[in-house]
Structure 1
Amino acid sequence: MSERPPALRAMEVPARPVPTGFPEDLVAALGGREKRVLGDPFGLRNFGVNLVRLPPGAASSLRHAHARQDEWIYVLAGTPTLVLGDRQQVLAPGDCAGFPAGTGEAHHLVNRSDAEVLFLEVGDRSPGDSVTYPDDDLAGAAMPEGDWRYTRKDGTPI
């Protein structure tokens, strides 16, 4: 059994590469997003915690909606634009937002400012989750081992 740290410095956790299996034609839309996975080093299994950095022009993800997983964000620095369904709102440090599973209301954050954005992202790890991307030809399904499998909307493998 590997030893878990009692604590760590969040910004020293290596940034995770773009998701395995994510289609190359859609990676550019993330614009240099950096995600540091903070829950895994502590052995957390019921929910995930990420520290996300968005340089100007970057997006947190493609606009998406989860079937089973709730998500929550808390802005630490910068002024990202929350895109939620057909609404948009500029957020500031101290703002938070939650995205309940199963609503079909797609969301993401976009950094339209000229300064870096930093936020915490928390989500549960409900088994059997799937995700839809209304603006892109993409669908995702959580695999039992925790990885994601991406396909085109018609089911064609990527």
Structure 2
Amino acid sequence: MSDAGHPVAIDAGDAPVRTGSGYPAPFAAQMGERLKRRLGDVFGLTGFGVNLARLGPGARSALRHAHSHEDEFVYILQGAPVLVTDAGETPLRPGMCAGFKAGTGDGHALLNRSSEDVVYLEIGERRDEDTVDYPDVDLKGLSLDGHWTYLHKDGTPY
């Protein structure tokens, strides 16, 4: 253990698994079989998050979204996802990576259209002032009183 009570190192496969989605209905069901291991949380990281994510066949990383204040980065370890952005669809393979600069408004998501699992690292900032726009659906996300909240685009709660 480190002096803060967090481990110095772990096997990533031993990190706790988070399944499902925090999205409101009907969006949560659209994620399919999506598992995330919150590696950054294991070490008490607060400035940025690191997730080891697995998408089963037919699953998606998220609804296509764009952050106002948080940069994001993904690195493909296994499988062949399709990256969807405003520019269209880009097939990815192991060893490829993609970055998403905050504030651009260019929504992004990974889709697993294959019959094999997709595994990737997802790294992003953690900023209280961040808001998330979902350009394809009536949804926006933001932190209210320290809790992540989803609203309709007109501001009414789900």
Q: Distance in 1 between matches of 2:11 and 2:150?
A: 32
Contact 2:77 2:94 in 1 (8 A): yes
Offset at residue 137 of structure 1 (A): 1.2
1:12 Cα offset (Å): 1.9
1:11 aligns with 2:13: yes
Alpha carbons of 1:17 and 1:2: their partners in 2 closer, same or farther (altered >3 Å)?
Answer: farther
User: C-alpha separation between the residues in 1 aligned to 2:13 and 2:58?
Assistant: 21
Is the contact made by 1:128 and 1:144 (CA closer than 8 Å) also made in structure 2?
Answer: no
- Give matches, 1:76-87, under 5 Å: 76-87=77-88
Unaligned runs of 5+ in 2: none
Matched to 1:148, the amino acid is W
Residue 17 (structure 1) shift: 3.7
Aligned-residue offset at 1:8: 1.3
Gaps of at least 5 residues in structure 1 are: none
Aligned residues of 1:127 and 1:144 also touching (Cα < 8 A): no
Aligned counterparts of 1:143 and 1:13: Cα–Cα separation in 2: 28
> What is the root-mean-square deviation of aligned Cα atoms in Å?
1.5
Number of equivalences:
156
Compared CA separation, residues 80 and 47, structure 1 to 2 (3 A) = same
State the 1:144 CA deviation. Answer: 5.8
SS at match of 1:52: strand
SS in 2 for 1:39: helix
SS in 1 for 2:50: strand
Residue of structure 1 equivalent to 2:151: 151
Cross-structure match for 1:36: 37
The 3-state SS of whatever aligns with 2:26 is helix
TM-score (norm 2): 0.93
Q: What is the rounded CA distance, in whole Å, between the counterparts of 1:116 and 1:19 in structure 2?
A: 18
User: How many Å separate the matches in 2 of 1:35 and 1:144?
Assistant: 25
Q: What's the offset of the Cα at 1:83?
A: 0.4
Alpha-carbon contact 2:81-2:93 (below 8 Å) kept = yes
Residues 7-41 of structure 1, C-alpha deviations (whole Å, 9 max, x = no match):
11112222224444x20210111011111110011
Q: Deviations over 1:71-94 (max 9, x none)?
A: 000000000000011411110000
Deviation at 1:2, TM superposition (A): 6.3
Q: Which runs of 4+ in 1 moved over 3 A?
A: 17-20
